[in-house]
């Protein structure tokens, strides 16, 4: 096993990527905030299937955290992360400082409409501006052939696809399926904040999604199914931010034009906020 080359500056990252390109290799980027788990590793494997030179960025991006959120407490363990990436034979790790990404006087933003409306933006209005600027900068730094994002953050994936298309960034955006624990809970760096009781309760999220999807696909009216799902989560101890059915491609509310949909949820257990989503097929009788 070879330790990945660690790039701390954009200049060094570009030099590593230029050498790989000169050797005829395709480049894949997997943007992360570290605290890697099996979900991230599945993104790395998807990247490896598409490229001979895989770079994983590890950067806890301050602009996507509100002052009230867990930026300082966000888990960081670069050495453990690099060891996991070494086992997957990743070629490069981009580990920039905040000053490298946001130089003194930084004053530029990327604001995305469309899929960023509602859902996460209701409780985290700053979030997609922060994601859009940092992902734009990461893509411009690496100019990869393909960049891989998890479907776990489905709205984020839709927002990234939107601005990459709108800005003409020449990178293919690949969505990779959510990796789940044995009881169905989506893997997340935030799951480590759950104590044993909360961890058991958290499995209610995928259960509610799965049951609601079966009923919607069987033709039951979505509004009543979602109201019951919300009540079930609340009874289980969650404070529910949203449980919503959206068009899978645009994230607009589902309408007759929607070929498929996505059921998305965000709910808090104590101070831990969990999100998840699953695909919904159009019912034979149309959306009710
Ligand atoms: O999904 C994440 O981990 C982050 O939002 C991302 C895409 C790495 C941007 O900071």
Regarding whether 98 and 144 lie in a shared domain, the answer is yes
pLDDT tens-digit readout, 102-121: 999 999 999 999 999 999 99
pLDDT at residue 104, rounded to an integer: 97
Q: Ligand 1 pocket by C-beta < 6 Å: which residues?
A: 31-33, 61, 64, 131, 134-135, 153, 156
The closest residue, in CA terms, to atom 3 on ligand 1 is: 32
In angstroms, what is the span from residue 8 Cα to ligand 1's centroid? 18
Spatial distance between the Cα atoms of 80 and 73, rounded to a whole number of angstroms = 17
pLDDT band, residue 207 (cuts 50/70/90): very high
Is 73 within the bounds of a domain? yes
pLDDT band, residue 69 (cuts 50/70/90): confident
pLDDT at residue 1, rounded to an integer: 81
Residue 176 has pLDDT above 90, yes or no: yes
Q: Which atom of ligand 1 is nearest to the CA of 59?
A: 10
Regarding whether 126 and 51 lie in a shared domain, the answer is yes
| Domain encompassing residue 242 | 189-281
Regarding whether 164 and 99 lie in a shared domain, the answer is yes
Is 230 within the bounds of a domain? yes
Regarding whether 199 and 114 lie in a shared domain, the answer is no
Spatial distance between the Cα atoms of 205 and 128, rounded to a whole number of angstroms = 24
Regarding whether 223 and 121 lie in a shared domain, the answer is no
pLDDT at residue 189, rounded to an integer: 87
Going by C-alpha positions, the residue among 151, 139, 161, 133 that lies closest to residue 188 is 151
Strand partners for 149 = 175
> Measured at the alpha carbon of residue 150, what is the angle toward residues 72 and 46, in degrees to the nearest 5?
120
Regarding whether 108 and 12 lie in a shared domain, the answer is yes
Among 7, 37, 40, 53, the one annotated catalytic: 40
Q: Is 126 a catalytic residue?
A: no
Is 183 within the bounds of a domain? no
Q: How many domains does the chain have?
A: 2
Is 155 within the bounds of a domain? yes
253-to-67, 219, 259, 276 alpha-carbon distances in Å: 30, 17, 12, 17
DSSP letters spanning 55-95: EEEE---GGGS-TTS-TTTS---HHHHHHHHHHTT--EEE-
pLDDT tens-digit readout, 34-51: 999 999 999 999 999 999
Regarding whether 82 and 61 lie in a shared domain, the answer is yes
CATH of the domain at 111: 3.40.50.620
Going by C-alpha positions, the residue among 136, 153, 135 that lies closest to residue 189 is 153
How far does CA 12 lie from the centroid of its chain? Answer: 26
Asked whether 233 and 201 are in contact (CB, 8 A), the reply is: no
Is 182 within the bounds of a domain? no
Q: What is the pTM of this model?
A: 0.97
Residue 68 has pLDDT above 90, yes or no: no
CATH of the domain at 234: 3.30.1300.10
Domain final position from 154, 176, 198: 176
In angstroms, what is the span from residue 283 Cα to ligand 1's centroid? 33
pLDDT at residue 70, rounded to an integer: 79
Regarding whether 219 and 151 lie in a shared domain, the answer is no
Q: DSSP 3-state assignment of 241? A: strand
């Amino acid at each position: 096993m070879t330790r990945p080359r660690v790039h701390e500056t954009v200049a060094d990252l570009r030099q590593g990527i230029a050498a790989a390109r000169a050797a005829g290799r395709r480049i894949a980027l997997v943007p992360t905030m570290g605290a890697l788990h099996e979900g991230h590793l599945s993104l790395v494997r998807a990247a490896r299937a598409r490229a001979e030179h895989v770079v994983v960025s590890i950067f806890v991006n301050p602009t996507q955290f509100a002052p009230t959120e867990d930026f300082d407490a966000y888990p960081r363990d670069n050495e453990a992360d690099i060891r996991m990436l070494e086992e997957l034979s990743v070629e490069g790790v981009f580990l920039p400082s905040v000053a490298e990404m946001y130089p003194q006087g930084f004053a530029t933003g990327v604001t995305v409409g469309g899929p960023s409306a509602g859902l996460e933006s209701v409780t985290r209005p700053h979030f997609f501006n922060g994601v859009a600027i940092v992902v734009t900068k990461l893509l411009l730094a690496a100019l990869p052939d393909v960049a891989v994002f998890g479907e776990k953050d489905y709205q984020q994936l839709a927002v990234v696809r939107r601005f990459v298309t709108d800005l003409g960034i020449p990178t293919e955006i690949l969505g990779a399926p959510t990796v789940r624990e044995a009881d169905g809970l989506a893997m997340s760096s935030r799951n480590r904040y759950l104590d044993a009781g909360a961890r058991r309760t958290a499995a209610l999220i995928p259960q509610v999604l799965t049951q609601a999807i079966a009923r919607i696909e069987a033709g039951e009216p979505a509004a009543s199914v979602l109201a019951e799902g919300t009540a079930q989560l609340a009874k289980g101890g969650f404070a529910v931010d949203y449980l919503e059915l959206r068009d899978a491609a645009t994230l607009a509310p589902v309408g007759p034009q929607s070929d498929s949909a996505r059921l998305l949820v965000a709910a808090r257990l104590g101070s831990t906020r969990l999100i998840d989503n699953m695909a919904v097929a159009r019912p034979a009788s149309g959306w009710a």
